[in-house]
Amino acid sequence: MATPLTKSLPNGLAQVEQDIARACKEAHRERASVTLIAVSKTFDATAISPVIDAGQRVFGENRVQEAKAKWPALVSAHPGIALHLIGPLQSNKAKEAVALFDAIHSVDRPSICEALAKEINSQNKRPELFIQVNTGEEPQKAGIAPGEADAFIASCRDKYRLVISGLMCIPPVNEAPAPHFALTAKIAARNGLKNLSMGMSADFAVAILLGATHVRVGSAIFGAR
């Protein structure tokens, strides 16, 4: 008998959910304390739809233009979707970013704060904001240096009147991620920030053990890019 063509099941999502549940249990944390952001960058609606159908509602994209091209149709077809911008933001895209995204994880310099504050006021829309910390102090990577983080967080609050939800980090690829997650958690704690966006496909379980509240998982759900 010929096998009918079916939509491929999002097996990756089931495995990731299982691994998150295990890490939460190990960390003595509630599953609900961790938000899974399914990172759908480079994947089109055909790949994303089965993951939505499986119940996933929070998605991450790293480019404003790409998200703008593919998400509005999916959002209007599926109520309750939340979109997170996880990639670097340019000031001239702040308007579109505030209009489209429910959260922005890449706040890292005064020009972005200024542009976001302006758009938040004029659009009267308040995306959840995370400050990106460049924990590895890598020159090619976005994010505020750890030594400048406290002052930057203070200026986001005092000068730009932004409500900051938490911190985000992307550890260097060739290093153990745990010290980077621990450093991010420490900076957040001393600044009274409760959310931590950290952990990707290769290391989200470690991140959960170190306090991640938001894990950004792409390839483990959607496959290789």
Ligand X SMILES: *Cc1c(COP(=O)(O)O)cnc(C)c1O
* Binding-site ranges for ligand X (CB under 6 A): 39, 41, 62, 86-87, 170, 200-201, 216-220
> How is residue 222 written in tokens?
């959607």
CB of 181 to ligand X, least distance (A): 13
* N-terminal to C-terminal alpha carbon distance within the chain: 33
> SS3 of 161, please?
coil
Smallest gap from Cβ 161 to ligand X, in A, equals 26
What does the alpha-carbon distance between residue 142 and residue 132 come to, in Å, rounded to a whole number?
A: 7
Q: Which amino acid is at 115?
A: A
**Which tokens belong to 53?**
């159908």
d(CA 169, CA 196) in angstroms, rounded, equals: 8
**Cβ nearer to ligand X, comparing 155 with 219:** 219
Give whichever of 41 and 68 is closer to ligand X, judged by the CB atom.
Answer: 41
In a 10 Å sphere around its CB, with 0-12 CB exposed, 13-18 middle and 19+ buried, how is residue 197 labelled?
A: buried
Q: Which is nearer to ligand X, 157 or 178 (CB)?
A: 178
Q: How far is the CB of 222 from ligand X (least distance, A)?
A: 8
Closer residue to ligand X (CB): 170 or 187: 170
DSSP per-residue letters across 104-134: EEEE-SHHHHHHHHHHHHHHT---EEEEEE-
Q: Could you give the CA distance from residue 58 to residue 88 in angstroms, rounded to a whole number?
A: 19
Q: How far is the CB of 196 from ligand X (least distance, A)?
A: 13
Least Å distance, CB 41 to ligand X, is: 6
Cβ proximity to ligand X: between 70 and 157 the closer is: 70
Q: Report the residue number, 138 or 154, with the smaller CB distance to ligand X.
A: 138
Q: Are 55 and 31 in contact (CB under 8 A)?
A: no
